[in-house]
Amino acid sequence: MLEDKVKAVITAMDFDEKCMLITGATSLETSAIEKYDIPQINMSDGPHGIRRLIFPNMPERSQKINIKGGDTCFPTASAVGSSWNKSLAYQLGAALAKDCKEENIQVILAPGVNMKRTPHCGRNFEYFSEDPYLSGMMGAGFINGVQSEGVGTSLKHFAANNQEIQRGSINAEIDERSLREYYLRPFEYALENADPVSVMCAYNKLNGIWCSENRYLLTEILRDTWHYKGMVISDWGAVHDISKCIYAGLDYEMPHNPQIKELLSEALKAGTLTMEQIDNAAASVLKFIYTVSEMSRTQPKEAYSRDNQHNIAREIASETITLLRNDNNILPIDKTKCKKIAVLGRHAVDVMFMGGGSSKVTVGSENVDIPLDEIKKKIPEAQIDYFPLFQDGFRDVNVVDTVSNLDDDYEYILFFAGDNYCGDSETEDYDRDNLYLPNYMNSAISLASEKKKNVVLILQTGAAVLPRRWEKVPAILQMWYSGEAAGSALADILFGDVNPSGKLSETFMNIDRTDLDYPGDGKKVCYNEKWNSGYRYYDKHADQIWFPFGHGLSYTAFEYSDISIPEPHRCRDNFTLTLSCKIKNIGDRSGKEVVQLYIAPQDNITDRPLKELKRFEKIALEPGEGKEVFFDLNERDFAYYNTCLHSWHTERGHYDIMIGSSSRDIRLVSRIFVDNEKDYTILPKNAPMLA
């Protein structure tokens, strides 16, 4: 038994050896201890590909790095979240694990499932969604995929690391209910559906206590309530006092702490820590090392192929690109007819395909598909003219002239725009102070849309942007940071070789929120808005929405019908419920639809979101094809977190089950009555049953 083996080794170890286990050997490796045959485990960022780092005392593997070729750069999490495809997240994880194996990396420091409290957070591109369920389920898919190939994961950043400004000092003040229902919930969903070998704590404080020292988070919630059995690792440099961290439930400090022995022996002498607590931390690290090294024996299911990795990156990217607007169905471009296209904006060549910070992938430039080249490949006979307009982040002096004087016979104007090149506006450690694209870009977009028809705006950002004078632009594609295959995936969508099926994983608003306490007063940031972020807020402020959560167009259309809920529409304690609906592709192209199920309480006396996403399914349909989609729900899906009971509680009453194509495009509604014997709060027991 693994536990027995761990126990025997820890019992045999002296204090110094235990300390060696509790911190890294270097920045990304655990200590190998030959005497006990304990292997070294190599880690790497994460989450969209491998970040190769070279440190002077790193082992040979890192010295041999040959940057040419590099590792696969996959779409970032915000993009993957917009695929709403759990199997795709799994596929991404499995492919990423293959790169890890090639690089002798046993643990990838990913995924991140933090909520997007504000679109300003510089790391939103690294997170899946503003919704806990979507985020947690995509995170679980990713973890299961990576671990299926024998590589470990680290679910991060636990918890409430929702801004990068002062992330290493800020205190996030969050009430218990918002924590449990919103900020901790994606982690809980991920852990209910996957078993990552480690969880990484966040840098910030939560309710006055560093996350790394937060016993409520690391022990009461993670271990005692959620029964997590893996290792808890610090974010890099998040430890302030290792003895307090171990007391709280942290097992492993990264990077290497040269003072660990002195610090832990002082704590032992002072009686603030017991040897048993040190043993527990060391045992958890050892269990992690054994588990990961056992997992790493998993043989690859097929030989490694860099081309295959690229194709997977392309397939994933093409499911994430989101068609926001398509007036008069100007897209897709008909390859057989189109003769002349103008491509505007340097992002068509200097493509933004990843964000900055620790998630930056070491990818060889020869593996990056350039949009302009890929467009040309699609219609080699056509005339494609490229006008960069902006150089090195600044507008070309002739932008107005260039745009105004474009030939009249261009059938399409493909306008590429996005963040400044190379991840310096969406990156770790910084927030975005401005959610608009640069003014010079907005003016050029606006000018193009006034002068020309068939303008397609292609946005390369990792997170929501604010529109400025884009009303007349007939088609808008959100490309996200879609990884090394960005260009080919985009061309597939533009020319209809792939039917777009991305749906926004975060709300695109038309005005920035001013009601949030953000970024705080330098010491603390108070989440007074509670869980009202994303569509939970915008459902009550619909006038501030540009494109809603869950929105994304297709080149075909889907018809929803026949919502069916088993009789009687009355549920009792601990119930489960299976319901179904029918979806039909009523257009003339095959396509994929994301069927979204929301629950909306009707009789609540507690303050609750108007509705919450509880299930989704992505289905592929040929023209004319119909399918029945089934959803299983249970009592917990109807519950809120009650702070008097300190547990989840379901109010007796009516609930609308809403099924739709976006959070604001609900196609089917059916009402059920939930009868909870334990609910002392509201309706009389004989409340009417509804048909």
Q: What is the H or E stretch that residue 313 is in?
A: helix 306-320
DSSP code at position 493? H
User: Please, what is the minimum distance in Å from the beta carbon of residue 160 to ligand BGC?
Assistant: 14
659 phi and psi angles, rounded to 5 deg = -120, 130
Report the SS3 class of residue 6.
Answer: helix
Cβ proximity to ligand BGC: between 357 and 438 the closer is: 357
User: Binding to ligand BGC (CB under 6 A): which residues in 23-82?
Assistant: 45-46
Q: Which of 20, 89, 109, 341 binds ligand BGC (CB under 6 A)?
A: 109
List all residues 6 or more positions away from 89 whose beta carbon is below 8 Å from its beta carbon.
Answer: 80, 83, 138, 139, 140, 141, 142, 145
Q: Quick one: which H or E segment has residue 193? A: helix 185-193
Question: Which of 296, 358, 661, 663 is in the footprint of ligand BGC by CB under 6 A?
Answer: 358
Residue 585 as a binder of ligand BGC (CB under 6 A): the answer is no
Residue 199 to residue 196: CA distance in whole angstroms: 7
CB atoms within 10 A of CB 409: 8
Q: Give dist(CA 182, CA 37) in Å, integer.
A: 43
Smallest separation, CB 167 to ligand BGC (Å): 8
Instruction: Please report how close the Cβ of residue 44 comes to ligand BGC at its closest, in angstroms.
Output: 8
527 contacts 122 by C-beta, under 8 angstroms: no
- Phi and psi of 309, rounded to 5°? -60, -45
Q: Give dist(CA 283, CA 298) in Å, integer.
A: 24
Q: How far is the CB of 226 from ligand BGC (least distance, A)?
A: 21
Residue 202 or 351 having the CB closest to ligand BGC: 202
Nearer to ligand BGC, 65 or 639 (CB): 65
User: x/- binding map, residues 383-402, to ligand BGC, per CB under 6 A?
Assistant: --------------------
What residues from 246 to 305 belong to the interface with ligand BGC (CB under 6 A)?
A: none
Among 263, 271, 227, CA closest to 242: 263
E-assigned strand segments in 171-215 = 171-173, 198-201, 205-206, 209-210
Give the span between the Cα atoms of 111 and 600, in whole angstroms.
Answer: 29
Residues 612-631 interacting with ligand BGC (rule: CB under 6 A): none
Binding residue for ligand BGC, selected from 15, 226, 236, 290, defined by CB under 6 A: 236
Q: How far apart are CA 29 and CA 23, in angstroms?
A: 9
Computed on alpha carbons and rounded to an integer, the radius of gyration of the chain in Å comes to 26
- Identify the residue among 71, 131, 181, 235 touching ligand BGC (CB under 6 A): 235
**Least distance CB 67 / ligand BGC (angstroms):** 18
Q: Which residues are catalytic?
A: 235
As measured in angstroms, the least distance from the Cβ of 364 to ligand BGC is 21
Q: Give the residue nearest to ligand BGC (CB).
A: 109
CB of 200 to ligand BGC, least distance (A): 7
Residues in the chain: 691
- Cβ of residue 530: shortest distance to ligand BGC, in angstroms? 26
The DSSP code for 32 is P
Listing from the earlier edge strand, what are the strands of the sheet with 626-634?
558-564, 576-585, 626-634
Select 23 or 322, whichever has its Cβ closest to ligand BGC: 23
Applying the rule CB under 6 A, the residues between 147 and 166 that interact with ligand BGC are 156
Residue 46 or 520: the one with the smaller Cβ distance to ligand BGC is 46
Q: How far is the CB of 109 from ligand BGC (least distance, A)?
A: 4
Residue 408, Cβ density class (10 Å: 0-12 exposed, 13-18 middle, ≥19 buried)? exposed
Of 109 and 317, CB closest to ligand BGC: 109
Tokens of 441: 């870009």
Q: Which is nearer to ligand BGC, 151 or 668 (CB)?
A: 151
DSSP one-letter code for 673 = E
Binding mask 435-474 for ligand BGC (x = CB under 6 A): ----------------------------------------
Under rule CB under 6 A, how many of the chain's residues touch ligand BGC? 7
52, 65 contact by CB (below 8 A): yes
Note whether 535 and 546 are within 8 A (CB).
no
| Comparison of 171 and 596: residue with beta carbon closer to ligand BGC | 171
Q: Where along the sequence are the contacts to ligand BGC (CB under 6 A)? A: 45-46, 109, 156, 235-236, 358
